[in-house]
Amino acid sequence: MSSYFRFSAICTVLLVLFSSCSSTQQLSRRGVARIKEYTFSHADIPASFDGFRIAFISDIHYKSALQEPGLKKLIGQLQTLHADLLLMGGDYKEGVENIAPLFQALGEVKPKYGIIGVLGNNDYEVGYEQILREAKINDIWMLENNCDTICKDNDRIIIAGVRNPFDLRKNSVSPDRMLRDSDFVVLLSHTPDYAQDVDISKSDLVLAGHTHGGQVTLFGLYAPKTASHYGQQFRSGLRYTKQKIPVIITNGIGTSRKPIRMFAPSEIVLITLRSL
């Protein structure tokens, strides 16, 4: 038996003892386990964006642990937050048959400044064209090594999105490269590793997923699998690259491999911008 599955067996026993961990059934009933909030201050944030709220989700993997009742709860949670902008980090579906209903549901959130996303490794493997089509139908803008501008009161911030950050032979030039130093730039990348591997010096904040927070962890302190070649360094939360650029890594929504989470709760990230 592999160390991962031995560890999973131990954690399954712990799951019975600690109600803070969510099983597949609990995720399906409750939606997302928590809202994780950050306040992010930066000199490049324009004054008109002070207090601007960004919701960020990733790794929905619909349908995995998140089933139809949980998706309805997720949409309700996002609507209740009243974020100004919704950003998404990829890995949307498990099965192409789930793409259309998922994006129809996501399109119902309707934040004032729209919904912007990038694709994950699962999305490039199968269902790529369907995702782009359904996103467009539901007014969701997908970034593929390009940028979108969010304008407010004659000011702007930039959302830059990475195409397939696992293929650095084709995508080793960050989409932020042509932007001004004075721009406030949020870089979306499915994996946090991209922020460490590529020059992203024009970006001020990176949002990433892919790791699921380890998905199965020892009391949130250590995960045997992180889906990152940097191990625990970019597993979850607020981290910094070698360029000292902040990266917020979300635990995500759904699950992969096994439909279980242990001390890595599913989450929506909510970021409030503050101008200095």
Tens of pLDDT along the chain (276 residues)? 455 445 555 544 444 334 344 444 445 456 799 999 999 999 999 999 999 999 999 999 999 999 999 999 999 999 999 999 999 999 999 999 999 999 999 999 999 999 999 999 999 999 999 999 999 999 999 999 999 999 999 999 999 999 999 999 999 999 999 999 999 999 999 999 999 999 999 999 999 999 999 999 999 999 999 999 999 999 999 999 999 999 999 999 999 878 899 999 999 999 999 999
pTM for this prediction:
0.91
> What CATH number is associated with residue 13?
3.60.21.10
- Looking at residue 16, what is its pLDDT? 37
- Looking at residue 258, what is its pLDDT? 83
DSSP result, the chain = --HHHHHHHHHHHHHHH-TTS-BHHHHHHH--SEEEEEEEEETTS-GGGTT-EEEEE----BSSS--HHHHHHHHHHHHHHT-SEEEE-S--BSSGGGHHHHHHHHTTS--TT-EEE---HHHHHS-HHHHHHHHHHTTEEEPSSEEEEEEETTEEEEEEE-S-TT-HHHH-S-TTTTS-TTS-EEEE-SSTHHHHHS--TT-SEEEE-SSGGGSB-BTTTB-S--SSTTGGGGSSEEEE-TT--EEEE---SS-SSSSB-BS---EEEEEEEEE-
Domains of the chain: total: 1
Domain membership of residue 176 as a residue range? 3-275
- Looking at residue 6, what is its pLDDT? 53
